[in-house]
Amino acid sequence: MIQTHRVPTPPARDAEPHPVVHALADVEAEVLRDLVGHDDFAESARARTARLFGSDYADQPHWVALADGADPETCAPADVLGFASMILMRKQDLQTAQVWVGVRPGARSRGIGRALFEAALAEGIAHGRTVWQAYADSPDATGRPDAIVPTSGAGAVDPDRPASRWLVADGWTLELCETPSRLDLTADLLQRAASALEEGAGSDGYVLASWGDSTPPEHREGVCRVMERMSTDPPAGGMEYDPSVWTPERLVDSEHRQVVAGQRSVVTVALHAGTGEVAAYTHLAWPEENPAGVWQEETLVLPHHRGHGLGMWTKLANLARLVEANPEARRVHTWNAVENRPMLAINDALGFVPVGVEGCWQKRL
């Protein structure tokens, strides 16, 4: 018999992780190694604890599936067979629930994923959520006559993937495909990055500024404007996302929560020399416990500053800052909508290599 258990909310964001959270982190790492060949995206028990605590902006409940007879208070990693997590935004996207489900490879085809999803579904419905969103990795199926093509018309996923079959059977719609890409930090690339940092400063009426985990007060308003554009500018297909509202207080809170979760960052911006406006922004992040794998977070050039090469310039400069702050960095992962050709062109020129497709799925209740 499958027993699902809601993971308890920790007493504090920086609390010692509960045994079941350690086990959940172990499951996620195994699932990722099976699906994508590495665990660079796996979150530590420390990071999961911070998520579980939630914030003024989102609740993030988790569930686990336990082996028969396992005690959630004292369980070992092997006792946890799968997990589900969910994001319920509290100030925007109030109609939406985002859900992730992962099951250990050796425990699949036993109804565990369905039981975990049903547990999350019940809570989401109780919160009035009617739009459900999920994300699933797949080989690029472009050109296959039986491929599943998103409503956006760009990209394709493999219909034979277990996640694809499950989502289609459950009535989900593929709305968008993203291209996950990987960049290895070679010596040649890092030399290009160092040159961009040294030679580009001040060119074409812009100057660079960089920082680590916390945005300097004088740039918070500008960064907030960029973060708001990130919710509207990149292609989203039919995925329903509300425009986000960012304030300096929200930015400070978000950055503090990332540090507590063990995530470190480097940010580089291009400032307009005449006005000081944040014209372009790029952000790299990595977990302290697994620093070799780095995540490319937001990159954006404001519309009225495009056409000056700021996207490439800031991304190269931020790579130079990355290896200063994180000498153990070896590779960078990024995700972009298949139709986001300007950003994909920059990534191609940097040396990013596509590694499949991530399908963005949605279901309306």
DSSP 3-state percent helix, strand, coil across the chain (nearest 5): 35, 30, 35
Do 27 and 115 share a domain, yes or no?
yes
Q: What is the pLDDT of residue 202?
A: 53
Instruction: Report if residue 280 sits inside a domain.
Output: yes
Q: Which pLDDT tens digit goes with each residue over 279-314?
A: 999 999 999 999 999 999 999 999 999 999 999 999
Could you give the angle at the alpha carbon of 347 between the alpha carbons of 343 and 353, nearest 5°? 130
Do 97 and 193 share a domain, yes or no?
no
Q: What are phi and psi of 56, to 5 degrees?
A: -70, -15
Do 200 and 210 touch, CB atoms closer than 8 A? no
Instruction: Report if residue 144 sits inside a domain.
Output: no
Instruction: Report if residue 215 sits inside a domain.
Output: yes
Which CATH number goes with the domain that contains 304?
Answer: 3.40.630.30
Do 270 and 193 share a domain, yes or no?
yes
Closest CA to 24 of 61, 63, 58: 63
- Domain of residue 276, residue span: 186-329
Q: What is the pLDDT of residue 203?
A: 63
Instruction: Report if residue 248 sits inside a domain.
Output: yes
CA separation for the pair 30, 50 (Å, rounded): 21
Q: Which of 129, 154, 174 is the last residue of a domain?
A: 129
Do 319 and 196 share a domain, yes or no?
yes
Do 96 and 210 share a domain, yes or no?
no
Do 190 and 320 share a domain, yes or no?
yes
Q: Which of 108, 129, 150 is the last residue of a domain?
A: 129
Alpha-carbon radius of gyration of the chain: 21
Q: What is the pLDDT of residue 333?
A: 98
List the chain residues with pLDDT less than 70: 200-203
Total structural domains in the chain? 2
Do 297 and 227 share a domain, yes or no?
yes
